[in-house]
Amino acid sequence: PDTFYYLRDSRGAEVDVLSTAYGDPWLLEIKASATFHPDFTRGLDIYAPHLPAGAKKYVVLGLGVGPGMFKDVNIVGYRHLPV
């Protein structure tokens, strides 16, 4: 079965969703925002090095912004998620 986790460390770094659904692990940071801000990737940057190569990273913006990239993070509106 697919499993979903919320991650948070003692310093407050967090990722909203970690899952292995659909194969490779993926991380989601979900924001109720129409615009992207680089700080949105903080938790992804902290946790991603602890995952296997091929882990996918997404920031999901709740107001439907179209797809884009920042560093190695996919920026998508919730309507554009690839799952």
- 44-47 — which CB contacts under 8 Å span 24+ positions? 44/15, 44/73, 46/9, 46/13, 47/7, 47/13, 47/15, 47/18
Residue 66, pLDDT score: 64
* pLDDT tens track for 1-52: 678 899 999 999 999 999 887 778 889 898 888 888 899 999 999 998 988 8
Amino acid symbol at 40:
F
Residue 65 in this model has a pLDDT that exceeds 70:
no
Residue position matching structure tokens 């407050």: 12
Residue 39, pLDDT score: 92
- Which comes out higher in pLDDT, residue 81 or 54? 54
Instruction: Specify the pTM.
Output: 0.81
**Helix/strand/coil for 44:** helix
Rounded to whole angstroms, the Cα distance separating 75 from 80 reads 9
